[in-house]
Each structure stands twice: as structure tokens, then as C-alpha cells.
Structure 1
């Protein structure tokens, strides 16, 4: 009886480890996208905001 339990335990553990070892790892994710480039629209918006700020500051003085 004890020998039968050991054989059954060995078979169950073997089947579980064999099934677990055959899992395919997930694929490697793609690299993150590069940084966002500054396009001409953003530069003009920044320059317009700078001029607007200078104009507001000059009006106060």
C-alpha cells in the first residue's frame, strides 16, 4: 500500500512538472516609441506665448 502511494505520488508530480515545463513564454514586447518630436506648430505656439507674455509684462510698467 505504501509503495503504491509513492508510485502514484511520483507519477502525479512528474505529470505536473512535465506539463508546467512546456508552457511557452510570452513574446518580447515591442520597444517603446521614440520621444515626441517638436513640430513647427509647437514651436510657433511657444514663440507666440512668449511674445504675448512680454507684451503683458510691458503693459504693467
Structure 2
């Protein structure tokens, strides 16, 4: 019985390797599209949001520092 299971496991492993190797040839990259509409560049000011996040981080850090010193 062990020999049968061992043979079946080897057969399934071999079949799986051949299926995967055969499937690799079928996979191809997508070709260039028709071009389509060109997206308009959006002007997003990163500086304003980053400055607010930096200020909030400094404020939070100072708050935690004051809480730590009170203990």
C-alpha cells in the first residue's frame, strides 16, 4: 500500500510540474493599448498638508513629553 501511495504522489507531482511548465508559455504581457484619453495633471499642493502633519506631530510629541514629565 505504501508503494502505491508513493507512486501516486510522484505521478501527481510530475503532472503538476508539467502543467505549470506548460502554462508558463501561455502567459504573455498585454500589448500597448489604444492610447486612450490623456489624464490631466492635477496640481496638488503637498506642502500645505505636510506642514499640517508636521505641526500636528510636533504638538503630539510635546503633549506626550509633558505627560511623561508630570509622572
Based on CA coordinates, which of the two structures has the bigger radius of gyration? 1
Q: TM-score, normalised by structure 2?
A: 0.34
TM-score normalized with structure 1 length: 0.39
